[in-house]
């Protein structure tokens, strides 16, 4: 963001709240670009004893992650994660546990991860997902960024041993 959305003047760096922020210097305007992270819900979807991983439309071949989506206005994280599972996979789900929260600075997001158990027939939302894979939990391997740390924590809580890092 380079210009104030209220008065259209250029934004300039200012120290606020212990951090450098972009703010409008126009007297009386007071706009500050806080650049707060967006809340994202993530689901470790357990379906018929396997974990569902998804490759988003536009993602490179072979890159898979959890079912995720932005939290909507007036929605709890629990409602949001169940909505995303239904929208992207057409599955009915119930929350088994909260896994944790994970900063994802590269995308300026805060990920709120849940383990959910789902029922029904998977029908992929082709506007969002290119493909899915169903992986037995014992073969699931966490990745380093994004939702990977949630997978790591979930596997450890389930008693699975993690392979040594490469």
pLDDT in tens, 8-38: 999 999 999 899 999 999 999 999 999 899 9
Note whether 57 and 104 are same-domain residues: yes
pLDDT exceeds 80 at position 163: no
pLDDT-derived band at 165 (thresholds 50, 70, 90) equals low
Residue 89 CB neighbour total at 10 angstroms:
25
Distances in whole angstroms, Cα of residue 10 to Cα of each of 1, 51, 92:
9, 48, 48
Does residue 127 lie within any of the structural domains? yes
Does residue 163 lie within any of the structural domains? no
**CB-based burial label for 160 (10 Å; 0-12, 13-18, 19+):** middle
Note whether 26 and 44 are same-domain residues: no
Q: How far apart are CA 61 and CA 138, in angstroms?
A: 23
| Max Cα-Cα span within the chain | 61
Instruction: Say which residue the tokens 């300039």 belong to.
Output: 12
Note whether 82 and 139 are same-domain residues: yes
Determine contact, residues 56/126, Cβ cutoff 8 Å.
no
pTM, two decimals, is 0.87
Per-residue model confidence as pLDDT tens digits over 38-53: 999 999 999 999 999 9
Q: Which domain holds residue 97?
A: 38-157
Note whether 81 and 119 are same-domain residues: yes
CATH number of residue 110's parent domain: 3.90.79.10
User: Could you tell me whether strands 19-24 and 32-33 are parallel, antiparallel, or unpaired per DSSP bridges?
Assistant: antiparallel
Per-residue model confidence as pLDDT tens digits over 131-154: 999 999 999 999 999 999 999 999
pLDDT exceeds 70 at position 104: yes
Does residue 1 lie within any of the structural domains? yes
């Amino acid at each position: 963001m380079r210009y104030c959305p209220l008065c259209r003047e250029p934004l300039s760096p200012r120290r606020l709240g212990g951090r450098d922020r972009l703010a409008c210097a126009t007297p009386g305007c007071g706009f500050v670009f806080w650049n707060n992270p967006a809340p994202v819900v993530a689901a470790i979807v357990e379906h018929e004893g396997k974990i569902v991983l998804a490759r988003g439309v536009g993602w490179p071949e072979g890159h898979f992650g959890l079912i995720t989506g932005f939290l909507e206005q007036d929605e709890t994280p629990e409602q949001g994660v169940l909505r995303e599972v239904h929208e992207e996979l057409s599955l009915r789900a119930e929350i088994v546990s909260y896994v944790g929260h994970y900063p994802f600075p590269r995308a300026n997001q805060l990920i709120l991860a849940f383990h959910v158990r789902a029922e029904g027939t998977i029908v992929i939302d082709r506007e969002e997902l290119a493909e899915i894979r169903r992986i037995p939990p014992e073969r699931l391997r966490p990745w380093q960024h994004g939702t990977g740390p949630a997978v790591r924590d979930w596997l450890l809580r389930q008693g699975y041993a993690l392979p040594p890092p490469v």
